[in-house]
Amino acid sequence: MIFITGGTGLVGSHILLKLSQDNIPFKVLKRSTSSLKVCKDVFTHYKAEQLFNSINWETGDLNNIPSLEHAMQNCDTIIHAAAMVSFNNEDANLMHKINVEGTENIMNIALSMNIKKISYISSIASLGRNSTENMVDENCHFRVSKKESNYSLSKYYSEQEVWRASQEGLDVVIINPSVILGPGDWTKGSSQIFQRINKGLKFYTTGSTGYVDVVDVANCAIQLLLSDIKNERFIINGANMKFRTLFDLIAEGLGKKKSTIKITPLLREIAWRAEWIRSFIIGKKPLLTKETANSSMKNNSYSTKKIEEAIGYKFIPIQESVAKYCKWFLRRV
């Protein structure tokens, strides 16, 4: 049986759907305060309400060791997808608590319970993208520096817990997804870009990054867990694309005007500071931070040669993903 963390989130919900459809037994950790809305919406969209109702939920917390020990009983493999994503400095300590210490707890309990294998869902943020000018692949080593966000640091240190566990005898695989496109909470995470463009986004930046369909992330996490591959990492990336190109695709899919104003370095500095002031006045977290503003000007490309050769995986074209999720979004606004 597979033990799943992060099952109520975007990636986790699609992992649960795939396992349910393939009749693979699993149980899922959820906090007592977790909302099941995203997960239920995913299952409902695919007309799998009956499968959703049969999910075996286990109440617990990554930082509550007794609850983890209870929840992981009778499991022999794990997909660890739970994580906090934030680019606000005020969330740094909480993010470390959840991402790093939570992963440490999962690894320690897995070792004590003789779990056979873990598939850990990390991020391209933990790769050495700031230390290379070439295509980023699995051999690019992360270097701790002031250029890295608190989120990047938390995922890097989380991975160190996974690699540490592998040295202690646990078989592991790590996947590093690029920016994930999918139908999660439209007000949070990468799904928020659909909402922002739907409201009218006038600005674009010159940067670029990788994008991947959430279905690809879920499929790779499961396939690698069930394979004989161990103690390896894999970049999961559907396409490398300019931010403006993606924004234009989404605008077309939503029937909205495309962004026309180019963000310059000066405008970037003004924008994140203005957003900080606005958020301070209204008492809400900023939609744009210094970290996200800086990353939006960078150009990064990611290689998927390793995953393609290892399991022959073929990624969903990003154009198809955008069209699919634009239709999904429009049905819910």
pLDDT value for 292:
65
Identify the weakest region by mean pLDDT among 38-52, 57-71, 133-147. Answer: 133-147
pLDDT value for 279:
64
Residue range 143-167: mean pLDDT, rounded: 92
Sheet containing strand 26-30, strands side by side:
57-59, 26-30, 2-5, 77-80, 117-121, 171-177, 232-236
Q: What are the pLDDT digits (tens) for 72-96?
A: 999 999 999 999 988 888 889 999 9
Of 11, 44, 37, 48, whose CA–CA distance to 216 is shortest?
A: 11
Task: State both tokens at 39.
Answer: 């997960």
In whole numbers, what is the pLDDT of the chain averaged over residues?
Answer: 90
pLDDT value for 143:
83
3-class secondary structure, 79: strand
3-class secondary structure, 289: coil
Per-residue pLDDT for 130 more than 70? no
- All structural domains of the chain, each given as residue ranges with its CATH number in brackets, are 2-180+213-238+301-316 (3.40.50.720)
The pTM score is 0.92
Q: What are the pLDDT digits (tens) for 162-221?
A: 999 999 999 999 999 999 999 988 877 788 889 889 988 888 788 899 999 999 999 999
